[in-house]
Amino acid sequence: MEEKELIPRLFRTEYRKIVSVLCYLFGIEHIEIAEDIVSDTFLSATELWSLKGIPENPTGWLYTVAKNKTKNYFKRHALFAKKLSAEIKYSSNGVEEIDIDLSVKSINDSQLAMIFTVCNPCISAESQIALALNLLCGFGIQEIADAFLTNKEVVYKRLNRAKEKLKIEKIRIEQPSPAEIDDRLNIVLITLYLLFSEGYYSTSQDTILRKDLCAEAMRLTYLLAENEPTNKPAVNALLSLMCFHSSRFEARINEEGETVLYSDQDTTLWNKDLIDKGIYYLNQASKGNKLSKYHFEAGIAYWHTHKEDTTEKWENILQLYNQLLQIEYSPIAALNRTFALAKANGKGKAIIEAEKLQLTDNHFYYSLLGYLYTDVDNEKALKHFKTALSLANSGADKAVIIKNIEGIYDTGKSH
Distance of alpha carbon 40 from alpha carbon 18, whole angstroms? 12
Rounded mean pLDDT of 163-189? Answer: 90
The pLDDT of residue 133: 82
Which residue from 285, 297, 289, 371 is spatially nearest to 332, judged by alpha carbons?
297
CA angle at 348 for the pair 305 and 345, rounded to the nearest 5°: 40
Q: Is the pLDDT of residue 113 over 80?
A: yes
- Is position 23 within any domain? yes
What would the pLDDT profile of 240-251 be if each residue is shown by its tens digit? Answer: 999 999 999 889
Q: Is the pLDDT of residue 287 over 80?
A: yes
Q: Is the pLDDT of residue 411 over 80?
A: no
Q: Which residues of 359-398 are buried (b: 16+ CB within 10 A; e: fewer)?
A: beebbbbbbbbbbbbbeeebeebbebbebbbebbebebbb
Rounded mean pLDDT of 188-195? Answer: 88
Amino acid 127 reads: S
CA angle at 366 for the pair 390 and 246, rounded to the nearest 5°: 95
The pLDDT of residue 98: 62
Distance of alpha carbon 387 from alpha carbon 403, whole angstroms? 14
The pLDDT of residue 85: 47
**Region label for 259, one of left (φ > 0), alpha (ψ between -120 and 50) or beta (otherwise):** beta
Alpha carbons within 13 angstroms on the beta-carbon side of residue 213 total: 27
Distance of alpha carbon 44 from alpha carbon 294, whole angstroms? 42
Q: Which long-range contacts (CB under 8 A, 24 or more apart) does 63-66 make?
A: 63/14, 63/18, 63/102, 65/41, 66/18, 66/22, 66/37, 66/38, 66/41, 66/100, 66/102
Q: Is the pLDDT of residue 127 over 50?
A: yes
Beta bridge mates, 253: 259
Q: Is the pLDDT of residue 206 over 60?
A: no
CB 263 within 8 A of CB 343: no
Number of domains in the chain: 1
Q: Which domain holds residue 16?
A: 1-102
- Is position 81 within any domain? yes
- CB-CB neighbours of 39 under 10 Å: 13
CB 217 within 8 A of CB 137: yes
CB 172 within 8 A of CB 28: yes
Reported in sequence order, the residue ranges of 250-398 that DSSP labels E, i.e. its strands, are none
- Is position 33 within any domain? yes
> Rg of the chain over CA atoms, in angstroms?
24
What is the pTM (predicted TM-score) of this model? 0.83
Q: Confidence band (pLDDT; 50, 70, 90) for 3?
A: low
The pLDDT of residue 307: 87
- Is position 218 within any domain? no
- Is position 172 within any domain? no
What would the pLDDT profile of 217-235 be if each residue is shown by its tens digit? Answer: 899 899 999 999 999 999 9
- Is position 266 within any domain? no
Rounded mean pLDDT of 184-194? Answer: 90
The pLDDT of residue 207: 55
CB 187 within 8 A of CB 119: yes
- Residues whose CB falls within 8 Å of the CB of residue 39, separated by 6 or more in sequence, listed in order: none
- Is position 40 within any domain? yes
Rounded mean pLDDT of 159-170? Answer: 90
Rounded mean pLDDT of 355-379? Answer: 94
- Is position 37 within any domain? yes
Q: Is the pLDDT of residue 87 over 50?
A: no
Q: Which residues of 140-149 are buried (b: 16+ CB within 10 A; e: fewer)?
A: ebebbbbbbe
**In this predicted structure, which of 44-53, 95-104, 215-224, 341-350 has the lowest mean pLDDT?**
95-104
Distance of alpha carbon 236 from alpha carbon 141, whole angstroms? 29
Q: Confidence band (pLDDT; 50, 70, 90) for 94?
A: very low
**In this predicted structure, which of 89-93, 143-147, 287-291, 348-352 has the lowest mean pLDDT?**
89-93
Amino acid 254 reads: N
CB 295 within 8 A of CB 285: yes
Which residue from 281, 319, 310 is spatially nearest to 298, judged by alpha carbons?
281
